[in-house]
Amino acid sequence: MAYQALYRVWRPQTFSDVIGQEVITQTLRNAVASNMTSHAYLFSGPRGTGKTSCAKILAKAVNCLNPHDGEPCNECEICVAANENRLNDVIEIDAASNNGVEEIRDIRDKVKYAPTEAKFKVYIIDEVHMLSQGAFNALLKTLEEPPANVMFILATTEPQKIPATIISRTQSFNFRRISRQDILKRMQFILDDKKIKYDNEALEIIAASAEGGMRDALSILDQALSYGDDELNLKNAQEVTGALSNEQIVSYMTAISDNKPAEALTSLYQILASGRSALRFTEMIIRVCRNLILYNSNSDLSKQMDNSVMTKELLDIADNFDNARLFYIVDQVSATQKNLKNSNQTDIYMEILTVKISEPKVAQQTIVAPTESDNDKGVDNVEFDKLRDEISHLQNEVKDLSTGVRIATPTAKPKSHRRAANTNARLNKTAIYKVLSNATKDDLAAARDIWPDLMSMLSITQRAMMKVAEPVAASIDGIVVAFDYAMWFEQVQDDTDFLKELSDNTSRLMKKDCQIVLVPKADWPKIRKEYINNNIDLSNKDNVESKKETKKTNPTVDEALKLFGDDIVDVKDD
């Protein structure tokens, strides 16, 4: 017989075999034992949580010749036929490929016929949310009042797509995600039964990757066993799931704790080059931060740490992270995860995230006014004292000015306006207009040709910032570079040494003097439009002046203007 996947071999055959759905299985078992089963059920929940398995068990249980407390015996001819998928009275339908009105009408026509072998004719409709609106309408009446010997079991992962009229005609059961501990126990039971050696750390990684789905867990386990030649160890599980090794996460988090963006980016590139998933990577960062927060808290919470993640090396650097910074890192990683799911540029988002959470100034951004308890703990308040002195100095200057001049108090502006004003202040429109005045497509093409070479001349940190920038206009002596994010535009614009290095390297590659001018990509269309409009206005003004000069050179016109004035005389060209 051909090899069968683990999730097929170990599919539950009784309600007691179903993992993690005790409330649902107990309810169904009692209903069968007391002959109080409904004519229609709706099983909904995430994939791999036991919906179809429970539907098959229920179909066997209501038809079993020798049921035991609501459980099928799996020994009578009805149960054996059902287990071998040859019981004609249990009809499984895939609504994804049979979603039309005609298929449902066919069911409606055949439902009136009595079962051939069993007591009940059971229709199991999987992924029922895929039915069309017409198909749902065709099913309504039959679902509400089917013949006495017919049962419908509908299964779906998206119950919100099912009409309320259908839901109201069924008994609804919501299957929940299976806990990691339950998945772990089930895999241990299977491996022990098959007498296969395994590492508990490997099983924990697989259980975490399954995200609450038993079928997914067994599929990953099957794959890991094939990769490791019927042996499961930590390395095999990491390779199959794309999870990070302990060495990789320790290297990355150490660079973050030491505020070294270049080293953190180097570690990031090594992790991504090894084929690790960016999404799995972010999940691991959050798990590590969660454990570090528990470790920094009281002893009761620290007992809840995930020991498979928290190695001795990570505990050694725990003192470098306070909870404020860990909360900041979790916020930034969570925001990045949303972008990763909707973008193909995962590497760029990961680079930006790495630089943001590893820069030394992150700690300063989270500083608040120290409390007495902070002072007792010996918190370094140098930065806070410096800011307080600057505020005091500014207040004194305002008082001095107010003695001679009445100063109007400005109204507060929204943050977005302040950022816009800050960006506008950094813009060098004169230099941008100078490039635009002589810009050509050939110059822009030449700039884009040398751009990869220019990037290779930068350091790792500089390259990460410039990956979100590109040339948008170029002339013989300048290039306008637009940034996707205003934050990176401001950072590069303020770094005069970096800006000079960019211009020098560009001049070297172009073999002529070339100035780099920066602009946020969001502002670029507006600036270009302003330049075009200004040029058109100047051109029109020159034309008007030219016409006036032409008029005044005509003696007849000049005499008429003297006699009657500009307001009355209207000069028209022949």
Phi, psi values for residue 91, rounded to 5°: -110, 120
Residue 129 has pLDDT above 90, yes or no: yes
Mean pLDDT for the stretch of residues 13-20:
92
Higher pLDDT: 396 or 50? It is 50
pLDDT digits (tens, 9 = 90+) for 383-421: 555 555 656 656 565 555 444 444 444 444 444 444 455
Q: b or e along 98-128 (b: 16 or more beta carbons within 10 Å of the residue's beta carbon)?
A: bbebebbeebeeebeeebeebebbbbbbbbb
Q: With a threshold of 0.75, does the pTM exceed it?
A: no
pLDDT digits (tens, 9 = 90+) for 353-389: 999 898 765 444 444 444 444 444 444 455 555 555 6
Is there a contact between 138 and 109 (Cβ–Cβ < 8 Å)? no
Quick one: what percent of the chain has pLDDT higher than 90?
28
What is the per-residue pLDDT for 163? Answer: 92
Which H or E element spans position 151? Answer: strand 150-156
Is there a contact between 52 and 152 (Cβ–Cβ < 8 Å)? no
Residue 126 has pLDDT above 70, yes or no: yes
What is the per-residue pLDDT for 364? Answer: 43
Same domain for 112 and 33, yes or no, is: yes
What is the per-residue pLDDT for 393? Answer: 59
Same domain for 226 and 287, yes or no, is: no
Averaged confidence pLDDT in the chain: 81
Q: Could you tell me which residues come within 8 angstroms of residue 66 by beta carbon, excluding any fewer than 6 positions away?
A: 73, 75, 76
- How would residue 244 be classed by pLDDT, with cut points 50, 70 and 90? confident
Same domain for 36 and 167, yes or no, is: yes
Mean pLDDT for the stretch of residues 46-53:
92
Quick one: what percent of the chain has pLDDT higher than 70?
79
Same domain for 92 and 228, yes or no, is: no
Same domain for 441 and 333, yes or no, is: no
pLDDT digits (tens, 9 = 90+) for 249-261: 889 999 998 888 8
Residue 158 has pLDDT above 60, yes or no: yes
Same domain for 23 and 121, yes or no, is: yes
Same domain for 237 and 250, yes or no, is: no
Residue 74 has pLDDT above 80, yes or no: yes
CATH number reported for the structural domain that contains residue 209 in this entry: 1.10.8.60
Q: What is the DSSP string of 217-260?
A: HHHHHHHHHHHTTS-B-HHHHHHHHTPPPHHHHHHHHHHHHTT-
Residue 156 has pLDDT above 90, yes or no: yes
Structure tokens at 407: 């100063």
Same domain for 346 and 209, yes or no, is: no
Q: Could you tell me which residues come within 8 angstroms of residue 347 by beta carbon, excluding any fewer than 6 positions away?
A: 272, 278
Task: Tell me if 570 is assigned to some domain.
Answer: no
Task: Tell me if 331 is assigned to some domain.
Answer: yes
Task: Tell me if 414 is assigned to some domain.
Answer: no
Same domain for 322 and 470, yes or no, is: no
Same domain for 15 and 146, yes or no, is: yes
Task: Tell me if 550 is assigned to some domain.
Answer: yes
- How would residue 551 be classed by pLDDT, with cut points 50, 70 and 90? very low
Nearest to 325 by CA among 258, 236, 243: 258
Tell me the C-alpha to C-alpha distance, in Å, between residue 491 and each of 121, 122, 169, 425: 70, 66, 61, 13
What is the per-residue pLDDT for 25? Answer: 94
Residue 301 has pLDDT above 80, yes or no: no
Task: Tell me if 274 is assigned to some domain.
Answer: yes
Task: Tell me if 375 is assigned to some domain.
Answer: no
Same domain for 41 and 126, yes or no, is: yes
The domain boundary residue, chosen from 194, 220, 241: 241
Q: What angle do CA 173, 177, 180 make, to 5 degrees?
A: 145
What is the per-residue pLDDT for 533? Answer: 82
Least confident of 353-362, 446-455, 508-517: 353-362
Rg from Cα positions in the chain: 36
Structure tokens at 547: 């016409």
Our count of domains for the chain comes to 5
CATH number reported for the structural domain that contains residue 154 in this entry: 3.40.50.300
Task: Tell me if 446 is assigned to some domain.
Answer: yes
CATH number reported for the structural domain that contains residue 516 in this entry: 3.30.300.180
Cβ neighbours around 422 below 10 Å, total: 11
Domain residue limits at 461 = 427-522
Same domain for 333 and 458, yes or no, is: no
Nearest to 286 by CA among 330, 256, 238, 245: 330
Phi, psi values for residue 189, rounded to 5°: -60, -45
Highest mean pLDDT pick, 172-186, 219-233, 367-381: 172-186
CATH number reported for the structural domain that contains residue 345 in this entry: 1.20.272.10
What is the per-residue pLDDT for 310? Answer: 74
Task: Tell me if 421 is assigned to some domain.
Answer: no
Least confident of 39-43, 185-189, 279-283: 279-283
